[in-house]
Amino acid sequence: MRHTLPIAPQFYVTAPQPCPYLAGRMERKLFTALQGDLATKLNDSLSKQGFRRSQNVLYRPSCADCAACMSARINVAEFVATRSQKRVTKRACHLKRRATSPWATEEQYALFRKYLESRHATGGMADMDMFEFAAMVEETPIRSRLIEYNDADQLKAVCLTDILDDGLSMVYSFFDPDAEKLSLGTYLILDHIQIAQDLGLPYVYLGYWVPGSPKMGYKANYAALDVYRDSRWQRVNDPADFVDDLHPLSTDPIAEQVARITLPDGRN
């Protein structure tokens, strides 16, 4: 099925398949290609409307009877770390951060495999080989960085990060599962908040928050969290206020969703 706006780009919908986050649910995605001279502007614009990047594709969940997946971002200026998060920063402050061009290495892939086998052995990425990993990292038409975190000469964590006009988007991150005491998943987010502050960027985009999902529910642990729902960004004060998005009438028809998308030139 294809849905076309008055000007490019064109939007498509994937076929339904089992949801990886909520048992018994089916997922469907609305997506468009990210290419050409306007790729950066398109990524900036659609990221503000709940889309995420995967290589040269922008996508947003568009399930027929569920709207539980919501794009989440942290408002950097209003974020206040909890005591627990402050302890995480203190424990991991010895790690050396290094930002590089998005170029895959065998060392990164080895850490990626170790992370998947420990945390996501049955997930959709479980069978990714080195070439597929390299494509995930390197096939980016926009300004991206690969941020590495090292403990002496050992690679401990990696995050593929896009630099948007209003923030940092954490596209994909992985870390050493053996370094459990360092809480590296939490530390990566906290450090990206610090990077955004240093760069004067207002937001850190975290991907999708899914209430009720053990894999994706952790994002509600961060203060000043906003989610994109009902075509606008809303503050998450009480996560319980968002569980009604599992209602089968909580999502609009595809054509209506596409009609409301704003492109970089301001046109719908």
CA atoms of 211 and 229, how far apart (whole Å)? 13
The amino acid sitting at 162 is D
Q: Which CATH superfamily hosts domain 76-203?
A: Gcn5-related N-acetyltransferase (GNAT) (3.40.630.30)
Q: Which pLDDT belongs to residue 113?
A: 94
Pick from 58-67, 181-190, 228-237: least confident: 58-67
Q: For the segment 38-84, what is each residue's pLDDT rounded down to a tens digit?
A: 899 999 999 999 999 999 999 999 988 888 899 999 999 999 999 99
Q: Which pLDDT belongs to residue 37?
A: 82
Q: pTM for the full model?
A: 0.91
Strands 57-61 and 52-54 come out as antiparallel
Please give the DSSP secondary-structure letter assigned to residue 78. Answer: G
Q: Which pLDDT belongs to residue 67?
A: 85
Q: Which pLDDT belongs to residue 248?
A: 58
Question: What residue spans define the domains of the chain?
Answer: 76-203
Compute the CA torsion angle 123, 155, 159, 85 (nearest 10 deg).
100
Q: For the segment 120-163, what is each residue's pLDDT rounded down to a tens digit?
A: 656 667 788 999 999 999 999 999 999 999 999 899 999 999 99
Considering the chain, what is the average pLDDT of its residues?
90
Q: Which two tokens stand for residue 98?
A: 């290094």
